[in-house]
Amino acid sequence: MIYQKIQEAAFNDRRLLSVLIDPDKSGEKHLDKICAYSNEANIDYFFVGGSLITSGDLQRTVLGIKKRSSIPVVLFPGNHQQISEHADAILLLSLISGRNPDLLIGQHVTAAQRLKTSELEIIPTGYLLIDGGTMTTVQYVSGTAPIPTDKVEIAAYTALAGEQLGMKLIFAEAGSGAKHHVPVDVIKAIKKEVNIPLIVGGGIRTPESAAAVFRAGANMVVVGNSFEKDPELIQDIAAARFNFKDAV
Ligand code: 1GP
């Protein structure tokens, strides 16, 4: 069970790295490269999904990863259509920082029956959008305002409410391609309030920033954009899981 593994890692103070693959940017050659580097760096999970998939094919992407790697694939869906029975698990995201009912419950109702008949492990996840210094696709497409970075308590209490609602993970998201990742004081404040594992993603581009995010308490880091541009970076950011305490 994937959730159990994430919980065990959190319990044992072991940090995790997920490589996000956008089905719009997953040609065969790209998958060859990104999977080879991910296998070599022994990353923990592949996440697949996006707020907006245009030309990409989710099923083909998941199968393409499965053909190249035995690392588990977790769906990170932007909407109810982004379901593939070939994946191992799905983050059932509720955008709890927003007030868009469709992303709090609407998409979930549409997906419910299909998820029930699938063998996917369902992991209810409280998804918080935090301001990343620029208008990101997720912000625009979701039609929700991100939590301002100086409203640290709002972020912390939103995460706490998610935990109290029964969510199993909190995902603090600055948005793909964000200028700044989620600030360390926001991460620390969330960690202080919740006991469930915390995922942090958006705008993480260097091993140093991954280390800072891990040091602040993130249990898992998700990186997409930077690995698309430079798959060799996977190795260095993967190493931050182990040496984040030494980094300055
Ligand atoms: C987006 O958190 C992920 O949902 C990853 O963001 O593409 O900026 O790494 P980046």
Residues recorded for the chain:
248
Indicate the pTM of the whole model: 0.97
Dump pLDDT digits (tens) for 52-70: 777 779 999 999 999 999 9
For residue 181, how far is its CA from the centre of ligand 1 (angstroms)? 9
For residue 165, how far is its CA from the centre of ligand 1 (angstroms)? 25
Mean pLDDT within 83-90: 97
Using CB atoms within 10 A of its CB, is residue 101 exposed (0-12), middle (13-18) or buried (19+)? exposed
Architecture, CATH, for domain 2-240 = Alpha-Beta Barrel (3.20)
What's the angle, vertex CA 44, arms to CA 200 and CA 246, rounded to 5?
65
Q: Which amino acid would we find at residue 58?
A: L
Task: Map out the domains of the chain as residue ranges.
Answer: 2-240
- Residue matched to tokens 């991100």: 146
Dump pLDDT digits (tens) for 138-166: 999 999 999 999 999 999 999 999 999 99
> Is the CB of residue 213 below 6 angstroms from any atom belonging to ligand 1?
no
Q: What are 173's strand-pairing partners?
A: 129, 201
> Is the CB of residue 78 below 6 angstroms from any atom belonging to ligand 1?
no
Question: Ligand 1, closest atom to CA 50?
Answer: 4
Q: Which of 171, 203, 200, 230 lies closest to 15, judged by CA?
A: 200
For residue 129, how far is its CA from the centre of ligand 1 (angstroms)? 12
Which of 204, 220, 233, 234 to mutate to test ligand 1, by most ligand atoms within 8 A of the CB atom?
204
